[in-house]
Amino acid sequence: SREEMEQRVYEIKKQLGKELFIPAHHYQKDEIIQFADAIGDSLQLAQAAAKNKEAKHIVFCGVHFMAETADMLTTEEQIVYLPDLRAGCSMADMANIYQTEEAWEKLTSIFGDTILPLTYVNSTAAIKAFTGRNGGACVTSSNAKKMVEWAFTQKERIFFLPDQHLGRNCAYELGIPLEQMAVWDPISGDLSYEGDLQNIKVILWDGYCSVHQGFTVENVQEVRKKYPDMTVIVHPECAFEVVQAADLSGSTKFIVDTIQKAPAGSSWAIGTEMNLVKRIIAEHKDKYIICLNDNMCPCLTMNRIDLPHLLWALDIIIKGEQGNVIKVDESTTKEALLALDRMLQLA
Ligand code: 13P
Ligand code: SF4
């Protein structure tokens, strides 16, 4: 039964003590969050993993790229596990290293040495390594604006991947007009742009988050009509038009903190993943909060991590068996760390 499984997780946690560390992303289900040693957005979890030196076993409750990042930021002796290997990220899967190298070859043939890669942490370790060896840095949704600003102190243009929306939203906020942004289509291997290519400041990889693309301008308009006093807050993985139509946008941490600070009686429509929206609603009974999209928007891969998978991962550790270990090879780690460290130093 569920109660027995929960009891067993408590027992194992107690038995392993500080040897075990369970980081959980804000989008995880409550049945996982209750056991988390650290809850946060992707930046906070990366920092928590980098800081933790005593846990031998890190059972990462999030998606594959987060577990890879945790592995790269921890020591050789620490082992990172992902309770279900099917917990991937469709956005991270939209950029593979072969397409990326091909794009870089073409872009550098057009722009020479005037371009710097910036890679959202929602990407494979191989793309982070590509970024590191080409002088670029990683970004997360809570520091993307700062990192785009930094990138422009290094080079004239940026190549932002894999999330076109986060890239576009940040660059626009920094005053770069849409006319100076172009989208790189990895399938056709082409840059969609009309006019003089040398005017381009930002090249956006044609990737997106299918969860956040579920929020639309119509959703915002409906909320405006139905609840004129409601504040609309969305994640910057939402499309440009949606972010423009909303009142506020920011990372999952920004959303959590903003609602926390909001006065009792205020009303909010939130455009981000369903598990987090439901939790915020449950924790703020003094505020009126809805999901921006009536259908809610679940991240199916985040949801693959559930109580049975967590218990299975912990049981394997107790038995001393192998489990779903996430291990990035040494040379990839070395180059990816260049990009991650540039971010962590500035963040
Ligand atoms: P943050 O945790 O950086 O807000 O990103 C949200 C997300 O989509 C994670 O996959
Ligand atoms: Fe990937 Fe989007 Fe799910 Fe985050 S919410 S893990 S970006 S698919």
Q: Is 89 annotated as a binding residue?
A: yes
Q: What is the mean pLDDT of residues 38-44?
A: 91
Percentage of residues in the chain having pLDDT higher than 70: 100
Q: Is 238 annotated as a binding residue?
A: no
Domains located in the chain, CATH noted: 2-89+302-329 (3.40.50.10800), 92-209 (3.40.50.10800), 212-291 (3.40.50.10800)
Distance of CA 9 from the midpoint of ligand 2 (Å): 26
Rounded CA-CA distance 135/116 in Å is 7
Give the model's confidence band at 132: pLDDT under 50 very low, under 70 low, under 90 confident, else very high.
very high
Atom of ligand 2 nearest to the CA of 65: 6
268: left (phi over 0), alpha (psi -120 to 50) or beta: beta
The mean pLDDT value of the chain amounts to 96
Query: What pLDDT was estimated at residue 43?
Result: 83
Tell me the pLDDT tens digit for each residue of 170-197.
999 999 999 999 999 999 998 988 889 9
Question: Six-digit token pair at 232?
Answer: 């609309």
Q: Which residue has the tokens 């390594």?
A: 129
**Choice from 45, 299, 300 to test ligand 2 binding pocket (greatest atom count within 8 A of CB):** 299
pLDDT at 296 over 90: no
Query: What pLDDT was estimated at residue 269?
Result: 98
Tell me the pLDDT tens digit for each residue of 201-226.
999 999 999 999 999 999 999 999 99
Indicate whether residue 71 lines ligand 2 (CB < 6 A): no
Atom 1 of ligand 2: nearest residue by CA position:
89
Q: What is the mean pLDDT of residues 161-166?
A: 98
Distances (CA, A) of 333 to 73, 74, 124: 9, 11, 11
Atom of ligand 1 nearest to the CA of 44: 2
Q: What is the mean pLDDT of residues 244-270?
A: 97
Indicate whether residue 252 lines ligand 1 (CB < 6 A): yes
Query: What pLDDT was estimated at residue 270?
Result: 98
Give the model's confidence band at 112: pLDDT under 50 very low, under 70 low, under 90 confident, else very high.
very high
**Choice from 45, 90, 122 to test ligand 1 binding pocket (greatest atom count within 8 A of CB):** 122
Query: What pLDDT was estimated at residue 208?
Result: 97
Give the model's confidence band at 294: pLDDT under 50 very low, under 70 low, under 90 confident, else very high.
confident
Rounded CA-CA distance 114/108 in Å is 8
Q: Which helix (H) or strand (E) holds 107?
A: helix 97-111
Type of residue found at 240 = F
pLDDT at 347 over 80: no
Q: Is 309 annotated as a binding residue?
A: no
Query: What pLDDT was estimated at residue 290?
Result: 97
pLDDT at 96 over 80: yes
Query: What pLDDT was estimated at residue 297?
Result: 85
